[in-house]
Amino acid sequence: MAMWKGAVVLGVLLALQTAGLQYYYQQKYEGLDPAACRAALAELAAAGATSAPHIEVAKECTDADERCEQWASSGECEKNEAFMIGTEQAPGQCVKACNKCPGVAAATEAPVEADVAVEAE
């Protein structure tokens, strides 16, 4: 009986982990076209590339509070930067009003997989 309960608990934990990973990747890569990504990777691999640029895709930039524009115009972006723009630990509440929306950056190189499988669509 205890073995059966352990198997059920393990099954539930695996299902929760899978759902969590699926949600993470859905949020991280939302809006990207998988076919275009595969085609670009295949093109790089065919050209003999050993690395591809890592591109961070910016999400929609918004303010969390309707008073952000007012606060920004009164200098709060500079006076209260941690709240308005954010820190590494916490996002800012008024990033758009402070004109600090993250852009697209090609900062690092990532290895290109040699065995890229391109599906015909």
Band of pLDDT at residue 9, cut at 50, 70 and 90: low
Render pLDDT for 70-99 as a digit per residue (tens, 0 to 9): 999 999 999 999 999 998 888 899 999 999
Helix (H) or strand (E) holding 52: strand 51-56
Band of pLDDT at residue 103, cut at 50, 70 and 90: low
Q: pTM (2 decimals)?
A: 0.39
Mean pLDDT across the stretch 53-64? 69
CA proximity to 77, closest of 57, 94, 56, 59:
94
Residues 96/27/104/86 CA torsion (nearest 10 deg): 40
How many helices and strands, by DSSP H and E, does the chain display?
Answer: 5, 2
